[in-house]
Amino acid sequence: MERTLITGGAGFLGSHLCDFFIAQGHEIICMDNLIKRENIESIAHLMGHERFKFIKYDVTEYLHVNGKLDNILHFASLASPKDYLDFPIQTLKVGSLGTHKALGLAKEKKARFLLASTSEVYGDPAVHPQPESYPGNVDPIALRGVYDEAKRFAEAITMAYHRNHGIPTRIARIFNTYGPRMRLDDGRALPNFMVQALKGEEITVYGNGTQTRSFCYVDDLIQGIKKLLDSDENEPVNLGNPEEITVLDFAKEIIDLTGSRSRIIFCPLPQNDPKVRQPDITKAKTILKWEPKVSRREGLRKTLQYFEKKLSET
């Protein structure tokens, strides 16, 4: 039986990873500081499972786990702009100190280490779509820099531990991912649009809506993470859906899907908001034999059911 530590395990992606690896027969240690306290709901169904243990803990502190560890999946971080702008210092600390502590544990336990990085390491890209070879266009002192640079540092120290200590590391550059268990107040485009549409409120599009995004359904992303973990690829790999759509067209798609009568209004574009975002997944297709399978329409229908249920409970 493999024993796997998932930091940030109560978050959106972390909770899906807990489910997936429990189903794979792993013993799971889920570690989360619950800075977003409502995240505990995402793992409530696992409490009491014989192969699941939850530890409330801040991974920027001294990190120790009794017994063997085969895998460490480092997903601890706030991921939405709303959250990391509310907690900028905590975001920088978990990307730097937290990654350092988690890598130290991987070294001690001789465990495989997978870092959840992000497409935000590319900043507002001058290359489109974005391949892993593109170094990015990031302003370190901009408001969004706290997240971008935290993840860029996390990648740098992960590669340093691989090169200097021989740790089997994996780096997943995760592009926009969606699905059940996203928070209603997450602040990103999909939760905003879906909640506003279901409530019949005005749908807020930032800028003129011509900026593009690519949305990957969570089940596809989890499969990609598993394939990356099982591979021998130490350098970054893009994981996301390359199907690109403008934010304005995406808002219209949500209105159509929900049957809402909401109207779209336009708000000022946030500072450093990327104009384009589309992964080049050639490396994932070649090395991992992975590409997304779930269409956006199908994924949105599944996500809509979750959002309708959550709104009915509030």
With 90 as the cut, is the pLDDT of residue 273 above it?
no
Instruction: Say if residue 140 is in the same domain as residue 194.
Output: no
Instruction: Say if residue 43 is in the same domain as residue 25.
Output: yes
Decide if 282 is inside a domain: no
User: Residue type at 132?
Assistant: E
Decide if 126 is inside a domain: yes
Instruction: Say if residue 91 is in the same domain as residue 209.
Output: no
- Whether 298 and 239 have beta carbons less than 8 Å apart is answered as no
In tens, the pLDDT along 31-66 reads 999 999 999 999 999 999 999 999 999 999 999 999
Structural tokens at position 243: 């199907």
Decide if 285 is inside a domain: no
Q: Phi and psi of 72, rounded to 5°?
A: -125, 120
In the block, residue with structure tokens 């893009």: 238
Confidence at residue 281, expressed as pLDDT on a 0 to 100 scale = 98
User: Residue type at 8?
Assistant: G
Decide if 207 is inside a domain: yes
In tens, the pLDDT along 11-25 reads 999 999 999 999 999
Instruction: Say if residue 140 is in the same domain as residue 19.
Output: yes
Instruction: Say if residue 59 is in the same domain as residue 136.
Output: yes
User: Residue type at 157?
Assistant: I
Where would I find the H helices in 166-233? 189-199, 218-230
Residues contacting residue 56 through CB under 8 Å, at least 6 positions apart = 31, 32, 33, 34
Decide if 45 is inside a domain: yes
pTM: 0.97
264: β partners: 203
Q: What percent of the chain has pLDDT over 90?
A: 97
Instruction: Say if residue 40 is in the same domain as residue 91.
Output: yes
Half-sphere exposure of 286 (CA within 13 A, CB side): 7
Decide if 89 is inside a domain: yes
Residue 273: CATH number of its domain: 3.90.25.10
The two beta strands, 244-246 and 212-214, are antiparallel
Instruction: Say if residue 114 is in the same domain as residue 166.
Output: yes
Instruction: Say if residue 87 is in the same domain as residue 209.
Output: no
Structural tokens at position 193: 């649009």
Structural tokens at position 30: 């889920």
> Which of the four pLDDT bands, split at 50, 70 and 90, describes residue 97?
very high
Residues contacting residue 1 through CB under 8 Å, at least 6 positions apart = 25, 26, 27, 51
Instruction: Say if residue 146 is in the same domain as residue 261.
Output: no
Domain that holds residue 171: 3-177+216-239
Confidence at residue 299, expressed as pLDDT on a 0 to 100 scale = 98
Decide if 260 is inside a domain: yes
- Report, as residue numbers or ranges, the catalytic residues: 147
With 90 as the cut, is the pLDDT of residue 195 above it?
yes
Count of domains for the chain: 2
Kindly state the DSSP code that residue 275 receives in the 8-state scheme. S
Instruction: Say if residue 18 is in the same domain as residue 75.
Output: yes
Average pLDDT estimate for 262-285: 94
> Which of the four pLDDT bands, split at 50, 70 and 90, describes residue 200?
very high
- Whether 269 and 207 have beta carbons less than 8 Å apart is answered as yes
In the block, residue with structure tokens 């089997």: 168
With 90 as the cut, is the pLDDT of residue 314 above it?
no
In tens, the pLDDT along 152-189 reads 999 999 999 999 999 999 999 999 999 999 999 999 99
Structural tokens at position 284: 């994932």
Decide if 76 is inside a domain: yes
Instruction: Say if residue 234 is in the same domain as residue 270.
Output: no
